[in-house]
Each structure stands twice: as structure tokens, then as C-alpha cells.
Structure 1
Amino acid sequence: MTSTLPAVTASQVPAQNTAAPEPPTDRPEAPRRLRSSRPDLLLCGLMLTAILVVQGWNIAAYPTFSDDEGTYLAQAWAVQQGEGLAHYTYWYDHPPLGWIQLALLTWIPSALDPGSLTVGTMRAVMLLVSAVSAVLVLVLARRLALPRWAAALAMALFGLSPLSVVLQREIFLDNLAVMWTLLAFALAASPSRHLWHHFGAGLAAATAVLTKETMLVVLPALFLTMWRHSHRDTRKFALTGAVTACALVGFSYPLFALLKGELLPGSGHVSLWDGIVYQMTRPGSGFILDPGSGSHGVLESWLYYDRVLPLGGLAGALLLLLIWRWSVTARALAGPALAVAVLAALALRPDGYLPAMYIIQALPFLALVLAGGTASVAHAVLRRRRSATEKRSVAAGRYALAAVLALAAGAYVVPRWYDGDRTAVTADANAPYRAASAWLGSNVEHPEDTRVLVDDALWLDLVHAGYQPGLGAIWFYKADLDPAVTKTMPHGWRDLDYVVASPTVRRDARDLPNVRAAIQHSTPVAVFGTGEDRIEIRRVQPATAGGTR
């Protein structure tokens, strides 16, 4: 039998409510959805326009092409061509989902114009990734209850810092992984707190890890955010669903290797285990605070572009962790603050390996905690509880102090950001690469019969110019490290015609005998650029070669 409650008229409502009060909570009030808030949408549109203009202007000319960019794009090309997961033997250096996404992003432009699939041209697709990531930073900031101005500050820090402009332009897997990580955090902090949001957060987190495996270290911060923003009655189901979804998708990678018979080492094939061992045992770059270490050089390169976001973000994370017990904002930002702390701790390993793109995965969290720390300080200055009379007497002074602090911060930041961003939109660091590509496309009579050692930043340029992939245009590492390539070079360096000695090739040649010998037994026929950044096209000396070409 179903019972119903009798209707109650307004006159029957008691004058005082004697029901037990709701238990107190420190969870900040969730803001309105971004899509239904006109001020948020307007602010997002203005900020996004500024970010896309600054990041997109001169994107093909600055910064200098890197070999990693060429490698990921060449692997995407191999996926598009149905040649497998890489343009050479895939050896489980990274999960392949990252460049599979690049293959999808570049599929339409490369189908319309195959010759456009080069590093300089395809950097444009990173604008889409940057746009999505920047919007997700704003969404996450609002869902973590930052005021509108602080959310805009986080978006500006993430998208307009000279460090961000330089690194987010480049075709790095880290940028794709950050986009998926931000989506996972935004779903985890959803004010609706639906179970499917947390399930989706687990799927997005797994996608981020399979895009760039280093995002694995951020997962504890994601689950902390999910714990804080889930409903206590469904929290166990939410976390269980998220962890299960993340694990099931993540295990697809070792399952793929197992089905191919490449999970464990064996004769005549690569293995996932060997790839993991290489990543875990690769030579370290030294302690980041040791002035003579490679890691310190990487740190200096970050601070060269911007000191505000890295150092200010660390300070913001420290502040939020210190005031965690007393500040609702600090508790709301516990996940991003934990992410900054974990990433900083890993960077401080005495013998760890620190690549230049490592900071990409920290950029959104540094921006969020710096904006959150600024909001906490502003709240302390402007909103401290006082009597009404005292408030009136000190209000003008407090707003004046806030204005002075804001102007001082702007006076410090704006000139430095202006110089860095002006360089990004005006400098041309890739003229030598374009000139070398043009020379190899017009001055070699029979490119289909010519063998050239080249870094991956130019590999696709040569393929489009008619050189045979893998046999004519040879990624220089493979001339020493890939048996599938070395067996086509029975006479070693003597089977080569040219070496394109870019800075990357000259730097790494000391550890590659065939490449080093090819440079030593060749003469430059064209040089583009000057100094350490020059690119030399070197002809292997016929009198010394003596091998069969």
C-alpha cells in the first residue's frame, strides 16, 4: 500500500523551523554552467581570441623545429598511409594513441594537399588543442569555485605566458595529453555530480596516459578532486567506476603487445618490457639545482621564457597547502595543488631525466594554483570580516591597496610577457630548415635513388620531394639503431650520399658510429644559417666511399 502526505496550507506552516540543521560543508557553491552564463561566455570568447591570435601568429617560424615534432608527425603519416604505427620499427617508446590522434587531426589537410604534411604547416592543428585546453582551464577554474576574474587569470596564465606560447605551438604528445587530463578534471569537478561524469573522467584519464605515459603521476590529484566533488552517498560508486574505466582502457596497451607477441623480450622482436626498461633506466640529466647539470639547463630554458608562471605557480601551490585548513578556496584547489607538488618532486629527483617538454603537463595546474593563490590573497585583503562601521572606514584603503598590488604585478609581468610574446610572433627561427628542404628538393637530380641521413624535422619534406621513405630518406638514428635499416647498409656510412647535419644530428652523432663517420667523411655543399643553429648539407666523399650505392 502506498501512503501519501496530506497537503499543507501556508497558514499551517509553523513560525519557527525546529528541524535539525544541515551538516556543515566546506564544499564551495558550484557556479552556473559556463554555457548558460553570458558573462562567462563573453569572457571565454575574448580570452580565447587573444590566445589563438598570439599562439597562431608566426607559428610555423618560431620556435625552431624539433626532432620530436618530426618524429610524431612522421608516425602519424605512417598511420595515415597504413604503414603501421611508425615510419620505422615501432619499439614501444611511447603508447601509439598520441600520434593516432595526430593522424586524425591532420587527415583532412593532408588529404587535400599531401605536401602540406610537414612540421611547419601542421603546427596549425595544435591551435585546436590549445583552444580546447584553454577553455577547459576556465571551466575547471569556475567549477573549483574561483571567482570569474581569477578564472580568467588562470586562462590567461595558461595560454599567454611566453613559456606556454612556445611549447603549446609545438607538435608534442604532452599537449594532447594535457587536453585529456583537463577534461578528466573538469568531469571530476562537475557540479552535477552524475556517476557518468566520473566514469567519463576515468576514460579521459586513461586516454591521457595512453597519449603520454608520464600523465600517470597526475592521477592521484585527479582522484582527490573526484573525492572532494562527488556526493558522499555515491562516492564509492563514483570512484570505483572511474578507477575501473581507467584501468580497463589502460590495460589495452599491454594487451595489444601481448596479442602481437611483443609483451616480453625475445629473439628477433621488440617488446613492451624493453621499452619500459629503457624509459626507466635511461641516463639521468642530473639534479635540477646543480648549475652544471643538464636538468639545470632545462630549468634555465624555462625561466628564460617566463619566471612568473613556474615560480609563481610553485608559490601559489605552497600557499594553498599552508592555508588548506582555513581556506575554502585552498581545499577546492587541493587536486591541482597536489599535481604541482608531485610534478615538482619528480623534477627534483637527484638522478632523474628531465626533458624540456616536461613542464607542459604542469602548465594548467601552475596557472590554476597561481590564480587561486591570488584569489585567496585578494579575499584576505578585501573581504576580511569587520564591523559595519570599521568596514566603511577601511574599505577605501583596502581597495587602494588591492589596486596598488595589481598595478605592481602588472608592471612586473606585462613588459616581460610582451618581450617574450613579441619574439614568438616576429622571429623566424626556421629559415635554415626551409632553405635546406628547398635545396634537397631542387638540386638532387634523382632523389628516388639518393640516400640521405636527416633528422625527423625534415624527413617528411624529403618524402614529399620524392625520396624513398626509410631507404632514401633515413632518420639518422636508425642508421645505427634499427636492424631493419642497417641491413640495407652493408657498407655502413659508405652507402650514403648525403648527410643533413642539423644541430640535432651534430649533437647526437658522437653516440652513433655510422652518423659520426658519415659526417667525418663528407664535405659541405650548402650551408644555411650561422653558428650553432646552422644546417649543413654534406656530400659523402665519393673517393672515400667505395661502397655500392
Structure 2
Amino acid sequence: MTSTLPAVTTTVPAQRQPAPETGSASRTAPPSRLRSSRSDLLLCGLLLVAILVVQGWNIADYPTLSDDEGTYLAQAWAVQQGTGLAHYTYWYDHPPLGWIQIALLTWIPAHFSPDSMTVGTMRLAMLVISAISAVLVYVLARRLSLPRWAAGLGMVLFGLSPLSVILQREIFLDNIAVMWMLLAFCLAASPSRHLWHHFGAGLAGAASVLTKETMVIVLPALLLTMWRHGHRDTRKFALTGAITACVLIGFAYPLFALLKGELLPGSGHVSLWDGLKYQMTRPGSGFILDQGTGSYGVLHSWLYYDRVLPLGGLAGALLLLATWRWSVTARSLAGPAMTVAILALVSMRPNGYLPAMYIIGALPFLALVLAGGTASVAHAVLRRWRSEGENRYVTGGRYTLAVVLAIAAGAYVVPKWYDGDRTAMTTDANAPYRAASQWLSTEVADPKDTRVLVDDALWLDLVHAGYRPGLGVIWFYKADLDPAVTKTMPHGWKDIDYVVASPTVRRDAVDLPNVKAAIEHSTPVATFGTGDDRIEIRQIQPETVGAQ
């Protein structure tokens, strides 16, 4: 298949030009400057508009607000206020670079409208991340020698899959980390092969890991891409520089802990070591293929929204890895295929912990390998036609193949994606949260002297309503786990006035004695929503407190 990539015109010395691959005489090199290709800019721009419309429409109302979103935004708010790296004691659960970036993204709207610093409203900031990531997927596809149509397909798969739409709307560190990793891959695959591009790839890789530490497992695939696309005369030096840059930036995190005297455990302070120990030893969620385990439930929650991207992307990765020795496309996409394979293997640990947002790190690479696998199959079919001497049918065959594939894929994908994206663009899943926030803002006589246990999805709402941060409105976990908070509650649950029993609070209260007791010794005064998704505002009963 003849590539549709634009011709390259450059004055770079001959020894810096990409060496042609065996069997790739019919394929041209990736564009040295994507911005010089009007067709690429037009296609990428049109697809970006479609992605932003679908992801941005109804973004505040769907999906349901999560406690993790509220935590990251509350930590960003603390950075903006200059009160520290978190709204409570920072205990090295994650590197702080992620919510520092969220603080920068939300600083301008929060400055002009402080009350807008809530989870639903500030989800709009994630559109910036989604836009950059979608463009980087297209750029990376072109730099990995995919034809224009395949690059566009990868961008559509990444941006419009219902699974992507749901997860990319949410204020998760994973989304920001993916943006940095995509930038690292784009720099590693730069066709000009400047040394500073590889150093930059190392820096971007470090930024990704410091945003969400789980991205460290993707670094081997980044190094493979760097080696694969580096010039043979300088690749060892460039790779050494990239690794050095990545390691030096990565060491900033333990150095920060060391300078604060919190690197190792000790009396009266948190430590980086304890944070890492918690992350490494937290209870597992079971094997992903065992029915009844938490990991199995997470997998099926992903497949509920979309089967095409996860399963098709995994199949594409396996295809590319299996045909690596004789397929130019497979060799070009070795890095993304390896990324998918690594993430899939890690998710299949017998008793590992698998959070719902884990797949975010794989989404762009699943899209790339699925698009690349499609391009590889199309290229192989057309090449077979040529080898059989049917050249007069090649042009007509190309269009016939494209039409058949488009109709077959569209008949399966479009209805499912339409239903999923329509749900995301029309459903209001957060009415109970808004109603609970409104009730606590208007029905409580004196918020400044009231103590409420809430999940972090509502924490900033109540801060803006006049409750005291950390003392009046309390993130429910801290009522049992943070000594700085428990010492302000000498009588335990009796020192609480209200508990907002959201699904998250009810689920985790089992392991939190103060929270559990607060729920047991309270009665609902307002309920919003129905069933398991309901939010109850429960008031501690004075007569119960007095009887204890």
C-alpha cells in the first residue's frame, strides 16, 4: 500500500535522515513538520472539534462525581491558597505534581469566581488535557508512519469511544500523566532526530511518572521507541541522556521528602517510605478473570461502556507483536504495542489492585495499535494483490476495501458508541450531589459551628458555603485515619453534627469506626436520589449522644 504521507522537503544533512526499512520502499517517511501539511491540519482540527463537543457537552452532570476527583481538586485548592500540598496532612500517597498542574489549570477561573472551584465546574479544565492528548495521538501516529486516514482513526478511537469520554471528563491524575507520556513518545519518534528531542522525551517521561507514579511501567516502551527511531550513530548517547534526564528529575521527589525530614518513618511525622509501603501492600482486588472479584467487576465496567477499544486494541497489539519481524507497521508501532502488552500483563497479576482509572494509561496506545493493526492488514491485502499481478484493480480495490471495512465497522460500532455518548451528553447523574450541597448550604443555621463528615466530592462545595476547612467540613476518612483531625474529636463520633452518607461513605464506613458509629447513631433528615445511589444527610441524635 502506497502511503499517503506528504513528501518530505528538508535541508537536514543526509546522515540525519531516517534510514529506509527493509521492504518499505513503497512507504514514505513521516512528515518532518506536521504543521506544514494542510491536509493533516484540517483533518486533525475537524476531529478535535468533534471530540471537544462530545466530551464537553454535559460534562458537569455525567458521570457521577467521585471522591478521587474531589480529593485532587481539594489538594489543588490548597496549593492555590498557599496552605500546603493538600487540604489535610500530605502523606505521600501520590507525588504532588499532578494536582499542582490542576491548580495551574484552574487558577484563573478560581481567581475570578472562587465559588466555581467545585468538581463539576472544574471538570471543564480537563478539556484542555483531552485536547492536547488527542492532538498528540494524531501527531504520534503520523510520526510512526501511519497513513493519514489511520492517524485520524486513532484519534477518533481515543477521543470518541464512550469509555474515553467517561474517563477523560473526570479530574484524574492519570489523564494528565497520559498527556506527558504521549509528549514523550512524540519526542522519541521525532523524524528530525535532534538530541534535545530525546532529552526532552526523558523529561516528559519523568513528568508523567511524577504526575501518576504508575506510569513508570510504560518507560521501557518509551525507551524502545527512542532506540527504534534514533539515529544509529548517536542512539546510545541520546538514550543515555534521556535516561539521565528522567532519573534526575525523578529523584526530585525523594529529595523533597529528604529535605523535609520525611523520607524514612519516624515518630510524629509521615514519610515517603510509608506512602510507598501502603501503595505496594494495599489489599488486592483479585484476578481479573475470576468472577466475583473486584478486578473482574472493574473489567466488566470498562467493557460495559465499550468493547471495541479495549478488546480491539489488545488484539491489534498482539497482531503487531506477532508480525514484528516482517511488518514495517509493526516495527514502527513496537513502542505502543509493548505499552499495551505491559499494561495488560500488570492488570492480570493474581492478586493485584486494579482501580477503575487504570485503563486511562492504556487508552491512547490501544487506539494507536488498533488503528495501526487496521492499516497493517489493509497494507498486506493490497500488497498481495500487487504480487498477483492485478495492478489494474489496485485503485478500485482500495476503495472497495475501504467501503467494506467502513460499513462493517460502522454497523457494529456506531450504534453502540452513539448510545454510550448520548448517555454521557444527556444524563444528569449528579442531581443528588447538587441537592445535598444546596441543602447543607441553606438549611443549616450556623455552618461555621457545624461539623460535617463528607466525601471529597462535596468538600469544596461546603467550604464555599462557609464551613471551616478541615475542622467544620471533614473528609470522612480523616475522622479515623488522620491524627491531626482525630485529636480535635476527643469524643469521637459524638463531636460530629451531620454525616453525609453518599455511596462512597456507606461503602467505606465498614472499616472506619468513627464514621460507622456516626451513621449508626444518626437519622436521615434529607435524602436525595434513590436506591444505592442515594445521598442521605444524617443528623447525629442528641439524645443518643447524651446517653453514651
Report the TM-score, using the length of structure 1 for normalisation: 0.94
Corresponding residue number in structure 1 for 2:325: 325
| 1:257 CA drift (Å) | 0.3
> Do structure 1's residue 302 and structure 2's residue 302 form an aligned pair?
yes
Residue 499 of structure 2 aligns to a residue whose secondary structure is: strand
Corresponding residue number in structure 2 for 1:126: 126
Residue 525 of structure 2 aligns to a residue whose secondary structure is: strand
Corresponding residue number in structure 2 for 1:152: 152
Amino acid aligned to 1:337: A
| 1:395 CA drift (Å) | 5.8
| 1:533 CA drift (Å) | 0.4
| 1:394 CA drift (Å) | 6.8
> C-alpha distance in 2, partners of 1:406/1:71?
42
Residue 546 of structure 1 aligns to a residue whose secondary structure is: helix
> C-alpha distance in 2, partners of 1:396/1:280?
56
Residue 539 of structure 1 aligns to a residue whose secondary structure is: strand
> C-alpha distance in 1, partners of 2:447/2:235?
62
Amino acid aligned to 2:504: T
Contact 2:436/2:535 (CA < 8 Å) preserved in 1? yes
* Residues 129/395 of structure 1: CA separation in 2 closer, same or farther (3 Å cut): closer
Worse overlay, 30-39 or 100-109: 30-39
Corresponding residue number in structure 2 for 1:463: 463
Corresponding residue number in structure 2 for 1:15: none
> Do structure 1's residue 212 and structure 2's residue 208 form an aligned pair?
no
Residue 383 of structure 1 aligns to a residue whose secondary structure is: helix
| 1:22-37 → structure 2 map (5 Å cutoff) | 25-26=21-22, 29-37=29-37
> C-alpha distance in 2, partners of 1:457/1:383?
55
Task: Give ranges in structure 2 of 5+ residues lacking alignment.
Answer: 1-17
> C-alpha distance in 2, partners of 1:23/1:78?
51
> C-alpha distance in 1, partners of 2:393/2:111?
68
> C-alpha distance in 1, partners of 2:242/2:303?
36
Residue 386 of structure 1 aligns to a residue whose secondary structure is: helix
Contact 1:381/1:402 (CA < 8 Å) preserved in 2? no
| 1:101-500 → structure 2 map (5 Å cutoff) | 101-384=101-384, 386=386, 390-392=390-392, 396=396, 399-500=399-500
Residue 299 of structure 1 aligns to a residue whose secondary structure is: helix
| 1:222 CA drift (Å) | 0.3
Amino acid aligned to 2:383: R
> C-alpha distance in 2, partners of 1:535/1:385?
62
Contact 1:452/1:498 (CA < 8 Å) preserved in 2? yes
Residue 360 of structure 1 aligns to a residue whose secondary structure is: helix
Task: Give ranges in structure 1 of 5+ residues lacking alignment.
Answer: 1-21
| 1:85 CA drift (Å) | 0.5
**Structure 1 residues 466-502: Cα deviation after superposition (integer angstroms, max 9, x where no partner):** 0000000000000000000000000000000000000
| 1:328 CA drift (Å) | 0.4
Amino acid aligned to 2:74: A
Number of residue pairs the alignment of both structures matches: 527
Contact 2:21/2:328 (CA < 8 Å) preserved in 1? no
Residue 60 of structure 1 aligns to a residue whose secondary structure is: coil
Corresponding residue number in structure 2 for 1:61: 61
Corresponding residue number in structure 1 for 2:503: 503
Q: Which has the larger radius of gyration?
A: 1
Residue 362 of structure 2 aligns to a residue whose secondary structure is: helix
| 1:382 CA drift (Å) | 2.3
| 1:386 CA drift (Å) | 2.9
| 1:544 CA drift (Å) | 1.2
| 1:391 CA drift (Å) | 2.3
| 1:41-80 → structure 2 map (5 Å cutoff) | 41-80=41-80
* Residues 124/23 of structure 1: CA separation in 2 closer, same or farther (3 Å cut): closer
The CA RMSD measured in Å over matched residues stands at 1.5
Residue 106 of structure 1 aligns to a residue whose secondary structure is: helix
**Structure 1 residues 388-443: Cα deviation after superposition (integer angstroms, max 9, x where no partner):** 95222576456434422321111000000000000000000000000000000000
Residue 390 of structure 2 aligns to a residue whose secondary structure is: helix
* Residues 403/450 of structure 1: CA separation in 2 closer, same or farther (3 Å cut): same
> C-alpha distance in 1, partners of 2:386/2:329?
20
Contact 1:494/1:547 (CA < 8 Å) preserved in 2? no
Contact 2:195/2:238 (CA < 8 Å) preserved in 1? yes
Contact 2:289/2:296 (CA < 8 Å) preserved in 1? yes
**Structure 1 residues 91-128: Cα deviation after superposition (integer angstroms, max 9, x where no partner):** 00000000000111111100001100000000000000
Contact 2:385/2:394 (CA < 8 Å) preserved in 1? no
Amino acid aligned to 1:232: R
> C-alpha distance in 2, partners of 1:404/1:98?
44
Contact 2:386/2:394 (CA < 8 Å) preserved in 1? no
Amino acid aligned to 1:361: G
Corresponding residue number in structure 2 for 1:12: none
Corresponding residue number in structure 1 for 2:7: none
**Structure 1 residues 217-241: Cα deviation after superposition (integer angstroms, max 9, x where no partner):** 0000000000011111111111011
**Structure 1 residues 186-211: Cα deviation after superposition (integer angstroms, max 9, x where no partner):** 00000010001001110000000000
> C-alpha distance in 2, partners of 1:493/1:540?
9
Amino acid aligned to 1:84: G
Amino acid aligned to 2:206: A
Amino acid aligned to 1:75: Q
| 1:32 CA drift (Å) | 4.0
Report the TM-score, using the length of structure 2 for normalisation: 0.94
Amino acid aligned to 1:338: M
| 1:381 CA drift (Å) | 1.9
| 1:316 CA drift (Å) | 0.1
* Residues 23/377 of structure 1: CA separation in 2 closer, same or farther (3 Å cut): closer
Query: Structure 1 vs Structure 2: percent identity of aligned residues?
Result: 81
> C-alpha distance in 2, partners of 1:398/1:261?
65
> C-alpha distance in 1, partners of 2:19/2:89?
60
> C-alpha distance in 2, partners of 1:86/1:450?
22
* Residues 387/257 of structure 1: CA separation in 2 closer, same or farther (3 Å cut): closer
| 1:380 CA drift (Å) | 1.6
* Residues 547/115 of structure 1: CA separation in 2 closer, same or farther (3 Å cut): farther
Amino acid aligned to 2:147: P
